[in-house]
């Protein structure tokens, strides 16, 4: 019998499953492999699936989801806009492309993937010719990027109004980027989610506290760190031994009790069920504080404060 993932409330009144299945990092460009795993994830109890234009997995995810014998309403599908879309028209065009690849008529959540184009990245160089990259907004021009983020956000708002998307948010935004956006008088819809790197070794207290204060749900990517060193931490091992749970389950439960949704990624079928088997135990206040105290400010995926 499949486990049921519990949900967290969004500021729009809708809910998001507390744990989702990610199709990035090692899945980059491997849509066929993603398609082959979707059914296994769903059978384990996962109904929330996270992708992005730059992952190159939207088509594979769409293929896998189309084979599920379930109503669309029972699934939660998230994608993220690419680094090359920075105005209203481009955002709408990219979302329409994503809908076709994912084989759905609407998306539950779409995020602006980055506060600025990552011009030096390998995926961008693979996707665009250098002359096209050069035309993108200067990621170090504060005024140009503030205007670009606003225009892109207005594109997401248009997608909501067109019925293409239900909720919208951001990813990799710092408190600075979020403050600029939510305080802009021209926005009509507030972000519902900020997806950032977050785990016991990277607690990003400033962003966590800001999002909590502003009613923006924090969603963690990389909730298990790199899947090695952090999961061998003696504190997590001791708590896991006491609870008869793995260190991954302890880490995911810690995030859940903080009100943080998580996006996990695994290619191992048994781990899919293991990752969502966190509802039959609870961490007490001392255990929560011990885990939060493990913070080492380790960032695996880059520091977005580099973008003004």
- From residue 167, alpha-carbon distances to 32, 189, 216, 266 in Å are 28, 9, 12, 26
Whole-angstrom Cα distance, residue 153 to residue 147?
Answer: 10
C-alpha dihedral, 269 to 270 to 274 to 275, nearest 10°: -20
Nearest in space to 256 (alpha carbons), one of 290, 219, 294, 289: 219
- Asked about 55 being catalytic, the answer comes back as yes
Whole-angstrom Cα distance, residue 57 to residue 74?
Answer: 21
DSSP-derived pairing of the beta strands 107-112 and 76-81: parallel
DSSP H or E stretch at residue 44: helix 31-44
Instruction: Decide if 224 contacts 199 (C-beta within 8 A).
Output: yes
Whole-angstrom Cα distance, residue 8 to residue 256?
Answer: 9
Whole-angstrom Cα distance, residue 291 to residue 131?
Answer: 47
Write down the catalytic residue from 55, 76, 201, 208: 55
Active site residues: 55
């Amino acid at each position: 019998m499949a486990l049921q993932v519990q949900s967290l409330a969004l500021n729009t009144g809708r809910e998001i499953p507390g744990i989702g299945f990610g199709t990035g990092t090692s899945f980059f460009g491997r849509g066929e492999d993603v398609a082959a795993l979707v059914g296994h994830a769903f059978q384990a109890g996962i109904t929330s699936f996270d992708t992005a234009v730059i992952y190159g997995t939207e088509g594979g995810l769409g293929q896998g989801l189309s084979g599920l014998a379930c109503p669309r309403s029972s699934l939660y599908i998230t994608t993220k806009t690419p680094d090359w879309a920075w105005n209203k028209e481009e955002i709408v065009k990219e979302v329409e492309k994503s809908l076709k690849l994912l084989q759905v008529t609407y998306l539950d959540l779409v995020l602006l993937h980055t506060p600025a184009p990552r011009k030096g990245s390998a995926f961008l160089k693979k996707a665009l010719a250098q002359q096209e990259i050069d035309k993108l907004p200067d990621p170090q021009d504060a005024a140009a990027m503030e205007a670009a983020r606003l225009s892109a956000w207005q594109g997401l708002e248009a997608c909501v109004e067109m019925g293409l998307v239900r909720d919208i948010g951001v990813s990799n935004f710092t408190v600075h980027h979020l403050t600029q956006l939510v305080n802009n008088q021209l926005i009509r819809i507030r972000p519902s989610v900020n997806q950032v790197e977050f785990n016991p070794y990277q607690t990003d207290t400033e962003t966590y506290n800001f999002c909590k204060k502003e009613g923006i749900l924090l969603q963690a990517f990389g909730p298990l760190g790199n899947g090695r060193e952090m999961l061998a931490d003696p504190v997590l091992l001791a708590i896991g031994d006491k609870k008869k749970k793995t260190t991954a389950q302890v880490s995911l439960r810690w995030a859940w009790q903080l009100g943080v949704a998580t996006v996990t990624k695994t290619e191992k079928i048994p781990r899919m069920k293991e990752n969502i088997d966190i509802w039959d135990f609870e961490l007490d206040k001392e255990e929560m504080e011990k885990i939060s105290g493990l913070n080492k400010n380790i960032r695996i995926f880059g520091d977005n404060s580099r973008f003004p």
